[in-house]
Amino acid sequence: MSILIKRVRLNGETKDIFIEGNRIKEIGDLPDLKADEEITGEGKAAVPSFINGHTHAAMTLLRGYADDMPLKEWLETKIWVVEAHMTEEDVYWGTKLACLEMIKAGTTFFNDMYWHWRGTARAVQEMGIRGAISAVFIDLFDTKKTREQIALNEKLYAGREAFGSRVVFTLGPHAIYTVSEEALRWCAAFAQAKGLLVHFHLAETEEEVNRCLEAHGVRPVRYLEQIGFLGPHLIACHCVWLDEDDMDILKAHGVRVVHNPTSNMKLTVGGVFPYPQLRGRGVITALGTDGCASNNNLDMLEAAKLASLLQKFHTGDPVVMPAREALEMITVEGARAFGLESGLIEAGMWADIALVDLDTPQLTPHFHLASDLIYAANGSCVDTLICDGRILMRGRRVEGEEEIMAKAREKAFALVKRAAG
């Protein structure tokens, strides 16, 4: 399969982009080249497709179900109650809806942690995008549950290849307050032995830090260092409540971090992600949306705008996290965080490309693409999306989108009714 994108704006110039298989083969003036599929790039700009560093994808089913509540009450009285009744089919349709939403907003990769791993994997396989998928590992310090969770993850790992190369198996220990030290040590060792990433919530709230100090006498980052959990395999999400020593430790161990500005603000975690300090240390930093029950969408351009504005407001510095850096966090920096061959449009890279419609009011008059995308636009400006050398959306149409929305709506209301008894 080959694709030729003709006369598209790329880095301020008009170019042709030739895709062969799942990689970008050639970029330049290619008037005589033919391909199986041709896309007219007139009035469009080509950008690397976006990377969502932290999601709970199937929580699209709970979008708007329980809002404007304190975090602990929200989790314990609403979210966990409903999640206990979720089936694999619920997760499958909720994830298909999430994939649809991400495709429509230019995202081709997401890092997910949720229940019913196979339901998520099936949805990713069918929708054509990429996912680093982990099953939630929670043992609540119960030895029996620890063994059950280890056995489950070993079984899922063994069967991962059935879902194809776009589905990447990862480990998903939830957080230090829901996962035992024994389980955290096992996750770190298994990840190192198998070359896996570990998806983890870290230093999200002040309460988490205080409870760790009470239980272990040290802050969460130091505790994790002491038990051998840290390393370049770790994707640490949130990381709001870090001090200078914490950040030095994360840098020393090559930990990658993911900032989730929207959910942090909505759930009022009480602090602001220390972006300038982490960037100054050279810590690889990506952006995520979190789940749709705490955001409530999966739009990476919106997440990048909010991240940039929050940093400016918090620091009083109007030049912190400029548009170019914010855009890089959802493209090339996101790719670095997850070891992806994407994030740049260059020959040899994966053919993961979004075409942005420049003929929209938000992108007019169009002085600077990065500024327009971060401060003016949202995901609806994406006209065409290519992932792994396959066209997933063209003219803002995705195959089967009506059925996906209808089935997800049906599953969501049935789930809530079932949970209510």
Do 27 and 77 share a domain, yes or no? no
Report how many domains make up the chain: 2
Higher-confidence position of 76 and 394 = 394
Q: Quick one: 132 exposed, middle or buried, by C-beta within 10 A (0-12, 13-18, 19+)?
A: buried
Name the residue type at position 145.
Answer: K
Check which CATH number belongs to the domain holding 381 and give it: 2.30.40.10
Token output for 145: 């549950």
Do 139 and 229 share a domain, yes or no? yes
Question: H-type helices in 26-116, by residue range?
Answer: 71-74, 80-83, 88-104
Return the pLDDT at 285. Answer: 98
Q: How far is Cα 40 from Cα 42, in angstroms, rounded to an integer? A: 6
Q: Is the pLDDT of residue 234 over 90?
A: yes
Name the residue type at position 397.
Answer: R
Asked whether residue 153 is assigned to any structural domain, the reply reads yes
Q: Is the pLDDT of residue 153 over 90?
A: yes
Residue 206: give the domain boundaries: 50-338
Do 284 and 378 share a domain, yes or no? no
Do 33 and 70 share a domain, yes or no? no
Asked whether residue 411 is assigned to any structural domain, the reply reads no
pLDDT band at residue 37 using 50, 70 and 90 as cut-offs: very high
Return the pLDDT at 73. Answer: 87
Token output for 103: 């495709």
Return the pLDDT at 326. Answer: 98
Do 137 and 178 share a domain, yes or no? yes
pLDDT band at residue 421 using 50, 70 and 90 as cut-offs: confident
